[in-house]
């Protein structure tokens, strides 16, 4: 029997093979992992749907695969999985020839095919459509975000694509004299300049080339999109954490007995949630398509984790409902899984605010980039002693640099100042009762 790539997740078209874990001749059981894939910063296993002996392997490390592609052939012993993975598109069905375009006169341009439309997702996912249409769009360079779907849930149908193509054809062949002064329609999407060719560096000395990993490419794409889409403002402030550090030092032994590491990051998580409750516009998303603010009534904090493979942002959910001990244990667990590439897709989705703590790397203030579709991110640098005026005396206090970046379209500078000030106050007067278990 054939083992194929299963459903990868909503909005995910392809993945990269990290490692193939079996070889021809190996005996496998139901749900044994045959290979590991990397998709959108997460890793996903390819399970065997039956027990038997591997006859052949059709993929290798580094391959780009999509749903329905053949992974391996298996000589089954009759045992099969109780649940069959979501069926992939039937590749054996011959594609029907695309009908010739309808004459322009018979196909008036409708709002569905209007070039003024721009699909914007609050989750960052692509427009909903079938894999075959997505593949066709990729091969032809068609921008699906410009097509308004008329199917269930706004899904783009083949009729929508045809209507859009007819509209483009009508515009391309319209007589120039019909509207000599009409300006070209403005696109709401930021334009991306074409990549400029680099000079031949080998003329100047020895060089070495290395392909970017799919994870690094995804990081680059996401950050580029966020930087172009969001007008960033970053505000800086120092929080006095002298009392907090004393409090932490006293509580560390108690936490260690419970196999938990009480770090400053755990205090930050609680302080962030307290501040977000006072300033709900920071725990929100901006829907550009509807010009609406989406206020989230949950507090899922993304944690930027530095790994050997690049930046990964797993999410700690319901921070407001968890104790300091629970957060300490979960933070250690999710950070370790991120570094070991054992993070699943569900672990990196749904954040309402992100924390990037670079204090352990010895840096001070920096300018973090907002993780779209969120509207704000907090950067934290390394704490240290700083002279502070106390009456007529100068004393040294432990301070921690804070860097708050936010979307200036929806958050004004005054609100940013209030948020970072209240956050510092929350750290400086941290509620010691939260450390009790």
Catalytic residues: 408
Q: Which residues contact 49 (CB under 8 A, 6 or more apart)?
A: 1, 3, 30, 80, 81, 84, 85
Six-digit token pair at 119? 């699909």
Other CB atoms within 10 Å distance of the CB of residue 303: 22
Label residues 214-247 b or e (16+ Cβ within 10 Å = b).
bbeebbeebeeebeebbeebbeebbbbbbebeeb
């Amino acid at each position: 029997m054939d083992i194929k790539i299963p459903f990868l997740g909503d909005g995910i078209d392809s993945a990269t093979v990290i490692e193939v874990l079996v070889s021809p001749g190996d005996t496998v059981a139901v749900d044994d992992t045959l290979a590991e894939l990397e998709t959108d910063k997460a890793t996903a296993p390819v399970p065997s749907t039956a027990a038997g002996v591997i006859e052949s392997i059709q993929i290798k490390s580094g391959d780009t695969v999509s749903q329905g592609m053949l992974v391996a052939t298996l000589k089954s012993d009759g045992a099969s999985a109780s649940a069959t993975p979501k069926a992939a598109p039937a590749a054996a069905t011959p594609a029907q020839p695309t009908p010739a375009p309808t004459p322009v006169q018979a196909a008036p341009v409708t709002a569905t095919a209007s070039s003024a439309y721009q699909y914007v997702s609050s989750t960052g996912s692509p427009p909903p459509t079938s894999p075959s249409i997505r593949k066709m769009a990729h091969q032809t360079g068609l921008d699906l975000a410009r097509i308004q779907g008329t199917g269930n849930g706004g899904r783009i149908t083949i009729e929508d694509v045809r209507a859009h193509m007819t509209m483009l054809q009508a515009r391309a062949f319209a007589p120039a004299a019909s509207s000599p002064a009409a300006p070209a329609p403005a696109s709401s999407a930021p334009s991306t300049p074409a990549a400029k060719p680099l000079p031949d560096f080998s003329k100047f000395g020895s060089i070495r080339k290395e392909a970017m990993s799919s994870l690094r490419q995804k990081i680059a794409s996401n950050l580029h999109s966020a930087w172009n889409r969001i007008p960033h403002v970053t505000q800086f402030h120092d929080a006095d954490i002298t009392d907090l550090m004393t409090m932490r030092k006293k509580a560390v032994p108690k936490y260690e007995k419970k196999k938990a590491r009480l770090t400053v990051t755990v205090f930050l998580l609680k302080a962030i949630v307290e501040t977000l409750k006072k300033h709900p516009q920071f725990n929100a998303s901006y829907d550009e398509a509807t010009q609406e603010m989406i206020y989230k009534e949950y507090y899922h904090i993304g944690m930027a984790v530095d790994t050997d493979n690049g930046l990964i942002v797993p999410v700690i959910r319901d921070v407001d409902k968890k104790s300091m001990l629970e957060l300490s244990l979960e933070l250690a667990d999710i950070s370790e899984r991120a570094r070991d590439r054992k993070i699943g897709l569900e672990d990196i989705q749904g954040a309402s605010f992100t924390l990037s703590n670079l204090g352990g790397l010895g840096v001070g203030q920096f300018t973090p980039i907002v993780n779209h579709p969120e509207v704000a991110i907090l950067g934290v640098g390394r704490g240290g002693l700083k002279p502070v005026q106390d009456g007529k005396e100068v004393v040294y206090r432990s301070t921690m640099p804070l860097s708050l970046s936010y979307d200036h379209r929806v958050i004004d500078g005054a609100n940013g100042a209030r948020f970072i000030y209240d956050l510092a106050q929350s750290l400086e007067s941290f509620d010691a009762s939260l450390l009790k278990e």
